[in-house]
Structure 1
C-alpha cells in the first residue's frame, strides 16, 4: 500500500488506477486472499441484518412496540410515532440482494477497466456510507432512509464488493481457481457469523431505558467495516500480464479449461454456456435458500417436543417450551451456517481436482437424492440423521456459490471473469425470489388444507429435488465455448520489470518482512472468523445437548 501511495500526492486519485495495482516482481500472492476476506467479511453482514429487526420493531416503545392499527407500508415509510413491523423492515433485506445482482451486472465491466482497488474503495464507501445513512434513518425514525441508505446504496456496495475479490483472486491462482474463489466467498458466508454476535454485543452496550441502541451499533459497524474494507482495497495487487505461478504451466485449451484465451464480455452472454451456468446457479440457489430461511421453524414443527425431551406437539407448546425449542432451532441454524461457510472452500477446492463440471454434477445429483428420497423419510424419525442431511445440503448451497466463478474462468478465461460473474449474479437475485416463494406457497397451501405441520415438508422437498435434477441435466449440457468467440490472451508483460540487482542479505530481509506482513494480514481476518465460529458453536451446543 505504501508503495502505491508513494507514487502520488495525497490529493491525486491516480493511486487508485489499475496500472498502480500491478504487483512488482517477487510479490507474494498469498497477501491477496486476506484482502479479499476483509471485504467479504464486512459485506457478508447483509446476511445478518435480521439481528436488528426485533429491536427496531420497538425502537419507539423500547420495552414494548407502539402499534398503530391500520398502518400501511406507505405510512410506515415516514411515520415517527408508530413502531415499524418486522415485515416492513424485511424489505431492506430484499432490496439488498436485488440491488446486489443488478449492481454486479451493471458495474462488472467497469471493474475490469478500473481495477480492483478503485472498485474496492467504491464498495467500501457505498456499503459503509449506506449503513451510516441507515443509522441516521433509525435515529430520526424514517424507514425510507433505511431503505435508501442501507438497502439501495449499501446494495450497490454489496454488488461491487462481491465480485472484485473473486475477479482478483482468480487471476492470482490459475493453478487453484477453486481454492481461490472458495477463500473469497467463504468470507461472504461468514460475515453474518462475525457481524451478528458483534452487533448483538454493541446493541446491549448502547441500549438503555430510552433507546434500543440500533443506530449507534450500525454507525459503529460502518466505521469498523470502513477500516477493514479500505485496508483490503488498498492491499489489492493484480499480476503482471503473462505472470504464472512458479513451476506451473497452462494445461491448454484442449483440456476444456479456458486458459490461453478469453471470451470478451460483449460475447459471453451470446453463448449457450453462459445461460446454462446461469440456469444451474439459479436452480441450485432456489433449491436451498427457501429452506434455509425457515430452518428453525421447520425443525420445530417436524420434531416438536422431541427437541426438548417432552411428549407434546409443536402446536401445544407452552411459553417455556417455545423458548426452549427456539433455542434448539437457533442451534440448528447456526450449524447450517457453519456448513454453508465450510462447504465453500471444501467443494470449490475439490473442483480443482475433480473439475468444475464433475463437481456440479455431484452436488446437484446428491442434493436431488437427499431432497427427493432421504429427507422425506426422516419426518419425525432420526433427529441426528435429519441434521446431517441438511448440513450436507447447506454445504452444497455454499459450494455452488464458491465454485461457479472458477467454472466461468474455465469457460471464458480470466480477462473479463469479474464482469461475467457480475452478470451471472442476476440468477442469485431471481433465486432469492423463486426459492422462498416455492417454499412459502407450498407450506401455506398445505397448512390451509389442514395438513399436520410435521407432514407439510415432504412434498416441498420433492419439488426442490426436481429443481436440482433439472440443474444436473443443464450442467451435463455444458461444453467448451466455441472457438469463434475466443480472443488471444496477452502473454507479454505490459509493465517493465526493474533490473536492480538484489543481494542475498537484502533478499533474506525482504523475505522476513513478507512473512511478518503475511502473519499480520491473515491474523486480521482469521481472528474475527475464529471468534464468530466460537460464538456459533455456543448456539450449536444447545442442539447437541
Structure 2
C-alpha cells in the first residue's frame, strides 16, 4: 500500500545517516507554512475588492492561528505515534488545499470560503506541520536542543521573508482584482505542495538507543530547571509549570502577533501624516524585514538559551520587549528608524519565544512526549492569534471612526501589550522544577518508546 511509506517504521534512519539532514527537512515545511506571517500583504487588496473592514480581512489569519493551536493540541499524540513523515504529509495536503479553496472563494466572491479554506483547512496544516519535526529534532540533538529547534522553527518566521515579496509581485502581475488574488492563491497552493514534499521524503527518526558520537546523557542536571526524568503529556497537564509556561507563551505571542498581522497597514498609518509617508512597496518591505527579524531571532535567541538558560532568555523576551513597546508608544511618529528598530527587536523576541519553548519543555518535562506537550501548549498561540489581531484591529477601527489618525490609532494597543508582557514576565518568575510525583517510571518509558520506534 502506497501510504505505508508514511509509517514511522519506514522512517528509522540507517546506521551512519547524518542527523544534519533533519533540519533541512523541517525547514522545507516551516518555510512553507510560515507564509501565514505574510497575510497582511493580502489584506488591502481583499478589503478593496470584497469591501471588507480591517477586522474582517484578519479573520482567515486569526482562524488559521486558532486551528494551528487546536490541531497541534489534539494531533500532538498522533504525531508522536505516527511519526514526522506522516505529519508532514498531512500538513502538506491541508495547507495546499487551503490555498486552493481560498482561490475558489475569491473567484466566486464567497469570502466565507476564504475563511474556511485558509483559516480552517490551512490552519490544520499549520498546526500539524509546525509540531511535526519538534520531538524528532530534540531526539537527534539532545546535546543542543535550543539550537536544533531554532534552526527548524526559524523557517516559520522566515517564511514570510519569501512569501511577502513573492505575493506582492504576483498581485502586481496578476492584478489586485478578485481574479488576480485568486490566481495568486492558486499558485501558492501548487508551489507549496511541491516544496513541502521534499521534507516528507527526507525526514528520518533515530533508531532506538542512538546518541550523538562522543555524547553521554548527563547524570546530574546542569541547571536547576533541567530534569533527567520524563513526564507524560497527561501528567504535564496536571502541573503548574505547564500553565505558567502557557501564560508566558500567550503573552509573548499576543504582543508580537498583533503587529505582525497588521504590519503593512500599520506602518503606513503611523507615518501617514508626516512629510515622508510610507509607500505600499515600502510597507511590503517592512513586512519582509520583520520576517527576517522573526526568523533570525528564532535561531540566535534559542541558541543563546543553550548557554544562559531558558528562564533567563524569557526574561529578555518579556522585559526588554516591554521596554521596546514603551519606546514606540512614547516616540510616536517622530522617528521612522526608531520605530523600525524597535519593531524588529520585538519581532526577534517574538520569534525567539517560539523556538525556545520546545527546549524549555524538554528541560521541564524530558523528551518522552515533548511533541505532544508542545502541541497542547500551542493552544496559547491559538488564544494569542485571536487576542493580538483583535486588540490591534478593533482599537484601530474604533479610533479611526472617532476621527483619529497616525500613532493615535495604536497608542492604547501598545500600552495593553506592555501590560501583557509584564504579566508574562511574572509568570516566568514563578516557574520551578517539576515535582517528582509527576515523573514516569523509566521502565515504562523504555517500553513505550520501543513500541513507537
Distance in 2, matches of 1:245 and 1:94, equals 40
Distance in 2, matches of 1:55 and 1:298, equals 15
In 2 relative to 1, CA 213–446 (structure 1 residues): closer, same or farther, beyond 3 Å?
closer
| Aligned equivalent of 1:150, options 111, 114, 118 | 118
1:446-489: CA deviation from partner (whole Å, max 9, x where unpaired): 66777774456555433322221221111111111111111225
1:478-508: CA deviation from partner (whole Å, max 9, x where unpaired): 111111111225399959xxxxxxxxxxxxx
Report the count of equivalent residues. Answer: 447
Asked if residue 490 in structure 1 is aligned to residue 443 in structure 2, the reply is no
Instruction: Provide the aligned C-alpha RMSD in A.
Output: 3.0
* 2:132 counterpart SS class: helix
1:287-341: CA deviation from partner (whole Å, max 9, x where unpaired): 2222334445554555555552xxxxxxxxxxxxx6x555544443332222122
Q: Is the 8 A contact 2:12 2:206 kept in 1?
A: yes
Deviation at 1:428, TM superposition (A): 0.8
| Aligned equivalent of 2:233, options 249, 265, 277 | 265
Q: Is the 8 A contact 2:164 2:287 kept in 1?
A: no
Q: In structure 2, list runs of 5 or more residues that go unmatched.
A: none
In 2 relative to 1, CA 49–368 (structure 1 residues): closer, same or farther, beyond 3 Å?
closer
| Aligned equivalent of 1:247, options 211, 214, 218 | 214
Asked if residue 402 in structure 1 is aligned to residue 355 in structure 2, the reply is yes
TM-score, with length taken from structure 2: 0.88
Asked if residue 416 in structure 1 is aligned to residue 369 in structure 2, the reply is yes
| Aligned equivalent of 2:388, options 416, 435, 440 | 435
Asked if residue 93 in structure 1 is aligned to residue 46 in structure 2, the reply is no
1:290 aligned partner:
258
Asked if residue 181 in structure 1 is aligned to residue 172 in structure 2, the reply is no
Distance in 2, matches of 1:299 and 1:254, equals 46
Deviation at 1:20, TM superposition (A): 1.7
2:319 aligned partner:
365
Correspondence 1:2-401 to 2 at 5 A: 11-56=1-46, 65=49, 83=50, 85=52, 88-206=56-174, 212-255=179-222, 256=224, 258=226, 260-304=228-272, 306=274, 308=276, 324-372=278-326, 374-401=327-354
Distance in 1, matches of 2:121 and 2:202, equals 24
Distance in 1, matches of 2:225 and 2:416, equals 34
Q: Which has the higher contact order (CA 8 A, sep 6+)?
A: 2
* 2:426 counterpart SS class: helix
Q: Is the 8 A contact 1:240 1:494 kept in 2?
A: no
Q: In structure 1, list runs of 5 or more residues that go unmatched.
A: 1-10, 59-64, 66-82, 309-321, 496-545
Q: Is the 8 A contact 1:32 1:237 kept in 2?
A: yes
Q: Is the 8 A contact 1:242 1:492 kept in 2?
A: no
Deviates more, 1:283-292 or 1:151-160: 283-292
Deviation at 1:95, TM superposition (A): 1.9
TM-score, with length taken from structure 1: 0.74
Q: Is the 8 A contact 1:251 1:257 kept in 2?
A: no
Deviates more, 1:334-343 or 1:161-170: 334-343
Return the index of the structure with the highest Cα Rg: 1
* 2:241 counterpart SS class: helix
Deviation at 1:271, TM superposition (A): 0.5
Q: Is the 8 A contact 2:297 2:348 kept in 1?
A: yes
Deviation at 1:413, TM superposition (A): 1.3
Q: Is the 8 A contact 1:409 1:417 kept in 2?
A: yes
* 2:179 counterpart SS class: coil
* 1:263 counterpart SS class: coil
1:461 aligned partner:
414
1:315-368: CA deviation from partner (whole Å, max 9, x where unpaired): xxxxxxx6x555544443332222122111111110011111111112211112
Distance in 2, matches of 1:385 and 1:204, equals 30
Q: Is the 8 A contact 2:254 2:384 kept in 1?
A: yes
